[in-house]
Amino acid sequence: MNELGRLEDLPKEYVEDLRKQNLVPLWPSLRGVLPPEKPRPNTQATAWFYQALKPLLLKAGELTPIEKAERRVLVLANPGHGLEKMQASAAMYLGMQLLLPGEWAPSHRHTPNAVRMIVEGEGAYTTVDGQKCPMSRGDLILTPTGLWHEHGHDGTEPVVWLDVLDLPLVYYMEASYHINGSRQTVKPGRGDRTYAKGGMVPTQVFERSKSAYPMLRYPWVEARAALESLAVDQPDLDTVQITYVNPETGDDAENILGFYALMLRPGQTLTLPARSPACVFHVIEGGMDVQVQEQHFKLVEADTCCTPGYTPVTLRNHRADQPTFVFMADEAPLHRKLGVYEVR
């Protein structure tokens, strides 16, 4: 491949004339924006360990009342993007959020899509578009773009959850904003009860729901049972994995990021292929080793890591006698919509 001309090879006067007209030459930067063979991601393989993070999150609860924080979150920032950018990958934001007993995080809505993966604690809830969703460990709760949502806590212990948003993408598009609202009135009905069994959907006089998000809470007890059932039904299956989907359409639960649950059999080692999107792994139960490029992370319950795209990832269950359960998030729906999704 021939070497292209550099900016410093051009006369300074010429460069200044270009800048005065808000012009830049492409060729000095062409290999940077269109590198040969594969991208050069800024996303670095990075892990965040819950036992180190949790005391700092609880300290934030002492230092900053909810009225001064609105959302009390420590952002899991990837150093490859710069900590100040508050992003885990090109399109994913991660944050650990704390809600203390008796607190209420006020109602608002925003353009980025979000989900909440409950890490620990009981007694909290999220109200989304009038639907009150209890929060138990391992539950996945959607707060899609434009829907009112608020968080409350009627329990006696701190509750922590992992936020996953497509905020970096929406912010990059200059489309990120929020609107504050008043406390919501809770409506009857819950999607996780309405869509309690796979393969069956509610039908009102032969009419199906036209809601874009008919199910907002995906209980972990149901997801775990589905994984265990799949493992028993197909004992030779290497990858015991499910995808969180819209029960009416079968599409991804949200339209930009994908969400999954994975079960590693006792002692299993699983190598995932090099795919174009970055991926997040969060241990719900058990523990695993994560090997990506030259990096190695030993994760236990509630630990989180992010891996860059175009790189294979090897997972190994620590436990020889028990499965490990993992929540995953990635940018695959976005990549597919853009036509850039690939597996190598």
- Block residue for tokens 């000095």: 28
| Interval 216-261: pLDDT, tens | 999 999 999 999 999 999 999 999 999 999 999 999 999 999 999 9
- Domains of the chain and any CATH numbers: 46-338 (2.60.120.10)
Calculate the average pLDDT of the chain. Answer: 96
Find residue 333's DSSP bridge partners: none
CB contact at 8 A, 129 and 149: yes
- Predicted model pTM: 0.95
- How confident is residue 1, by pLDDT bands cut at 50, 70 and 90? low
Reply yes or no on whether the pLDDT at 302 is more than 70: yes
CB atoms within 10 A of CB 224: 18
Q: Could you give the CA distance from residue 4 to residue 27 in angstroms, rounded to a whole number?
A: 6
Reply yes or no on whether the pLDDT at 189 is more than 90: no
Give the mean model confidence (pLDDT) for residues 125-146. Answer: 97
| Interval 24-76: pLDDT, tens | 999 999 999 999 999 999 999 999 999 999 999 999 999 999 999 999 999 99
By CB atoms closer than 10 A (0-12, 13-18, 19+), residue 281 is buried
The torsion angles phi and psi of 31, rounded to 5 degrees, stand at: -70, -25
Residues 6+ apart with CB under 8 A from 308: 41, 43, 44, 45, 80, 89, 278, 292
